[in-house]
Homo-oligomer: A and B are copies of this chain.
């Protein structure tokens, strides 16, 4: 038995563009409001975001638990829901249930509090949701600001996020299209512009802090540093961000390593 969705009351009645918004910091984050501000410039908005922070959740899905939805706000042109799951759960819930009879024109995921450049694209819940969004026949844009501050200033991120979305919608690019957009800290004027980049090579090396809890058990807490393998490569997203540019990396989902594939064919 699959019940009719009780959601989506106003938006379905209008004939404008429909933008879906999600994030990984949760529906109450400042960056989520900033993403909605970008989206509202392009059409009606349905937003489904995690009820709690889900940073580092990658493309995780909830298999072992049921999901609960709450209506946060429902007015003409803007409906916001929270979901007790991961960012990818939010995308699936929206496209395969709430909006399953509707054409969605664009996905925006973010605006993340913190950079998702380089290999962070693999761990990021924001980018996990953006990638998932690109599976539903519309362009998908992940937006991040390189500040973890809960009260960060999103003015420039909204400005450049709007610019990127406008270009994408105007160009009618071939699908699938998923963009990883990172905006450095700074004012609109301080930022030098937008650079299309490739993903920087590098990885994280962690430091585990060990403490003893009140029950006398050792616990460990993950922390670490990103090691950039190519700090001088001017075509990378890390270079762009470190030099005051907005980075735009198009993201694909075919993980096949074709060079290794040829070597393996000879081997096996």
| Residues of chain A at the chain B interface (Cβ within 8 Å) | 1-3, 6, 53, 55-64, 66-69, 88-89, 92-93, 96-97, 119, 121-123, 125, 128, 131, 135, 164, 167, 171, 173-174, 177-180, 194, 196-199, 201, 203-211, 213, 217-222, 224, 248-258, 260-261, 263-265, 267-268
Contacts and interface: CB of A to CB of B under 8 A. Distances in A.
A170 to B, nearest CB: 9
A250 to B, nearest CB: 4
From A59, A123, A128, A224, name the one whose CB has the most chain B CB atoms within 10 angstroms: A59
Contacts of A222: 61-63, 67, 89, 92
Given A209-B2, A213-B66, A252-B256, A59 B59 contact: yes
Contact of A255 (B63, B125, B251): B251
Contacts of A254: 198-199, 201
Nearest to A6: B218
Nearest to A252: B257
A265 B1 contact: no
Given A58-B59, A92-B206, A249-B256, A221 B66 contact: yes
Given A253-B122, A263-B173, A62 B56 contact: yes
B2 A208 contact: yes
Contact of A2 (B53, B93, B207): B207
B199 A66 contact: no
A96 B250 contact: no
Contact of A268 (B194, B221, B267): B194
